[in-house]
A and B are shown apart, each in its own frame.
Chain A
C-alpha cells in the first residue's frame, strides 16, 4: 500500500507526543496501543509523528507503516470532525445498507473512505457494529442511528455541524 503525504498540511504540533510514547518505551509489543493513542491525539497518523514514534521506540519506520496499514482503524490522512461509519454487516446489507451509503454519498458528494472538503464529515464503512437487530445502522462518532431509510438521512446529518 502506498502511503500518501497529506495534501493539506496543517501545522503539526508534536510537543505532546513524547508524553504519549513514554510509558511504552522498550515495549515493542505495545506498538498498536501507541499508534491508537497517537491517532486519538491527532485524528490520524501524521508522517512526522510516525517518524518520532519510530525513533523513540526503535522500530524501523517501514515496520511501523507495515503495522499501521494492515489495520483498517489507522488513517494516514486527516479526517473530518464527524466520522460516519456505515455498517456493512450481513443484517444491514439485506436490510438495505447499500441504499443508505448511496444516499449519504449523494448528499455529501464523497465516496466511502473520503472526507468532505470542509473537514466536516468522513465517510467510512465498517464490517459490523453489532446492532444487527436495528439494521440498517450507521454510527456518527459514538452515536448509533438505527432502522434507517434513505429519505431520513439528510435530517440526521443536519444535526452534526
Chain B
C-alpha cells in the first residue's frame, strides 16, 4: 500500500514546461529521505490547465500544486509528505482568487467544467488497465456484448451523440448504416489525425485515457458487426502512440481484444497506423487511402465509407473524442445521463482547446450551449495583459471567426454554423486588438493551400488565386474589386470542391470579410494595418510624451534603429526599422505606436 499517490502531468504541454525535470527532482528527494517506496508517482494524463504547468496533484489529500520547478521538490517532500502540511506557496494563485486555491473545485478555471470525456484523465495512470477498470472501465463494453447490435446503435442515436470531429453527423445513424451494409467483413476506424492547428484535445485524451478509446471502438465494432479496427494517429504525437500500444497490449492480455472475447461470439483485432504528415488525411476518404498505403487523396462520395470504406469494405469512421463519449452512453442508464447535458440539438459536453491571447490557456470540457463569454472570461480568465477581446476563431482552418459583438453566442453545432464558423474539432483561438484579421485569413488560407492535395481544380487553383489576392492586400497593393473577387472565388470553391477541406477552406476568409470588412478596406484604400502586423502598411513611432528614456527598446532593437539619450524620449530611424516588433514587446510604458506610413498622426490603439 502506498501512503499517497502523486500524479505528475506528463502530457506534452507540461513536458514543454519541464515536468520531466520536476519528476526527476522529486524522485531524488524521495530517495534522499529513503521514502521512495511509500509513494506512487505517476506521469499521468492531462488535468487541462496547461497555463500553470508543470502540475502535480497529491491524492488522497486532493492538493493541486502548479507552476512547479525542480527546486520546489525539497519543500514539497519535507513539508507535505513528511509533516503533512500543505505548501501554500505552490498552490494556484491568480487575480481571480482571493486565497490560494487548493483543489479543482476552488480554481476558477475549473468552475464551469463538466468532466465527462476527461473523467479519468489526470486521475488514473494511463498505462494501467487495472486503474481504468477500477473506475468502471470496460463495463459499457461488457453490457454491449449482451445487447443486440442494432439496439446499441439505437441507444447512441437516442442519446443524441454527434461526431466531435467536424460536421457533427449523428454517430448512431452512421453506425446503423454500416450495420445494415451487406458483407461479412467490416472495419472500425478511429480518426486520431488531429491536424487542425490550434486543437489538441484528442492528443490529451489519447495520452490521458487510451482505454476509453479502445472501449468506444470495441462497442462500435459490436454494433456494426466489425472484427477489426484501425487507429490512424499523427506521427507528431509519439507519446499518444506509445500509450495506445501499451493499452492494446494490456487489453489483449486481459482477453478484451482477440478471439471469443469474454466468451461471446465476438472477435476484435486492433491496429495502429501512424500518419506521415498530411493534413488532408483528416478527411475520412483520404485517411482510408493512407491506411491502404496510397497517397492520401480524397475520393468522391457516394459511395460513403459505410457502404465502401477501408479496402472496399463497409467502415465506420469516428474521431477520438466521439469514441471516448461512447462508453458513457452505453453504460447502464447512460443514455438519459448523457442527453441531460447540453442543448436541444447538441447533447453532452465538448472539450475545447483554449489558446491564443487568453490568460488561462488549456483544455476545458464544458456542456454544449455555454456562451463564448463564459469560456473566455470565466474559464479563460479574460484577455492577456488587459487588452481588448477582438474575436475568437472556432474550428480551425475550416471554421470561421466570431467577433466580439457575438460574445453571448451559445457554442453548439447549429449556432456556430449560423455565425459562419463550425464546431470542428473544438479549437478556440482567442484574438485581441493586436491580431490583424487580413493576416489571419491569409494565414489559414496559406495553410490549406499548402495542404491541398491537388486532386480537384477548385481547391488546388482557387485557393492559390485567393491567396495571391490576400498577399496583395497585405502588401498594400489591394484594389477595391478584390473583395468581390474573393467572395465569388470562395463561393465556387465551396460549391465544387471534392472534399471537406476544399468545401470549408474559404470560411476564414468569408467570415473575416463578413465581420471585419472595414479592416480589409483600411488595408486596401488607406494602406494601413491598425494591428501592426502587415509590415508594409504601418510604421512605429515612439510617443514622445510617454517615453521615459529607459533604453529597453534601443537595447533590444536588432538593427540599432532606435536612438536617444538615457532618460530622454527616444526616436526610431524609419529607414533602418524593419518593423520586427521586438521593441513593442519590451516597452513597459506602451509608448510605441502603430501609425500609417508617411503620416505622423497618432491613430493607434
Contacts and interface: CB of A to CB of B under 8 A. Distances in A.
Decide if A and B are genuine partners: yes
A31 B198 contact: no
Interface residues of B, number: 60
Interface string A65-83: 0110011111000000000
| Across the A-B interface, the 9 shortest Cβ-Cβ residue pairs | A133-B50, A89-B197, A72-B277, A71-B276, A133-B361, A132-B355, A144-B16, A91-B355, A90-B198
B13 A94 contact: no
B328 interface: no
B427 interface: yes
B355 A130 contact: no
B178 to A, nearest CB: 21
A135 B429 CA distance: 11
B532 to A, nearest CB: 12
A32 interface: yes
Interface of B: 12-13, 15-17, 50-51, 53, 194-200, 203, 235-238, 273-279, 290-297, 311, 353-357, 361-362, 393, 396, 427, 429, 431, 435, 440, 443-444, 447, 451, 453, 556, 580-582, 585
A29 B310 CA distance: 11
The winner among A29, A130, A132 for most chain B CB atoms within 10 A is: A130
Contact of A30 (B237, B293, B451): B293
13 contacts: A31-B293, A66-B295, A71-B277, A88-B447, A91-B197, A94-B431, A94-B435, A96-B581, A99-B581, A128-B197, A132-B198, A132-B356, A142-B238
B12 A90 contact: no
B15 A94 contact: no
Interface string A52-71: 00000000000000110011
B235 A73 contact: yes
Interface stretch (A5-13, A14-22, A115-123, A146-154): A146-154
Given A71-B296, A73-B235, A94-B440, A127 B195 contact: yes
B276 A72 contact: yes
Contact of B356 (A71, A95, A149): A95
A29 B236 contact: no
B582 A151 contact: yes
B236 A70 contact: no
Contacts of B291: 29
A127 B444 CA distance: 11
B200 A131 contact: yes
B293 A67 contact: yes
A93 interface: yes
Interface string A95-133: 110010010000000000000000000000011111111
A130 B582 contact: no
A71 B443 CA distance: 21
B16 to A, nearest CB: 4
Nearest to B202: A130
Contact of A127 (B279, B431, B582): B279
Contact of A90 (B273, B275, B356, B585): B356
Contacts of A47: none
B197 A131 contact: no
A125 B291 CA distance: 24
Contacts of B196: 128
A31 B295 CA distance: 11
Contacts of B357: 94-95
A33 B51 CA distance: 35
